[in-house]
Amino acid sequence: MVGPRILIVEDEEPLALLLRYNLEAEGYSVDSVGRGDEAEIRLREQVPDLVLLDWMLPGLSGIELCRRVRARGDTERLPIIMLTARGDEGERVRGLATGADDYVVKPFSVPELLARVRALLRRTKPGHVATLLLAGDIELDRETRRVRRSGRELHLGPTEFKLLEFLMQSPGRVFTREQLLDGVWGHDVYIDERTVDVHVGRLRKAINRARSPDPIRTVRGAGYAFDETFARSE
């Protein structure tokens, strides 16, 4: 099943690539353009489930594109998250008044943005976002923030919860420590990569009780992966 379709409209290529990587890791189908006028054409060709829209764009500004999207009958309810370096209150009010559903100021935390994407899709397109991740005997509920294994509730810290959620979203995929830092802590947080090992150790201790098989696989010289032989979701 193809995940929700997200259009990234961002002219900073490194940021667009970072967003695409993290969104695709969560199971979304992602397209991106770097100009406002190109985005308008793309939206006429196909309407996505959500748009991440930069304010300052060549060709057509994000704020003007947002106005035009809201003026069209087929896109007037299209979920839009505005991305901008303009952080003062007046600009935030202007962006929301133009029709943006949410407003994120750069630089931002990638995990926080992903949470905002999920929350907005849950409100506007509730059938598109899986709130429950299942893998073998492990159940992770994104809404209640609870994790169970074989029916028994596990007590995880907030970082261990986010780490398990991130790994369960892409079973079998090997993530380097750097990728886990970006995906769980955010690219703007500067901490040692070995911090990942500490939290993986805590996560393993919490979920591997009573000789339960360890679903987190260590790939020597590469990183970590959630064992795909456990994986299923609904």
Model confidence pLDDT, tens digit, residues 127-179: 666 677 877 788 888 878 889 988 889 999 999 998 998 888 777 788 888 88
Higher per-residue pLDDT: 130 or 186: 186
CB neighbours of residue 53 within 10 Å: 25
First CA to last CA across the chain, in angstroms?
Answer: 11
Higher per-residue pLDDT: 128 or 88: 88
Kindly tell me the burial class for residue 234, based on how many C-beta atoms sit within 10 Å of its own C-beta (0-12, 13-18, 19 or more).
exposed
200: CB partners within 8 A, 6+ apart:
163, 216, 224
Q: What angle do CA 133, 155, 205 make, to 5 degrees?
A: 90
Two structure tokens written together for 95: 């962006």
Higher per-residue pLDDT: 211 or 67: 67
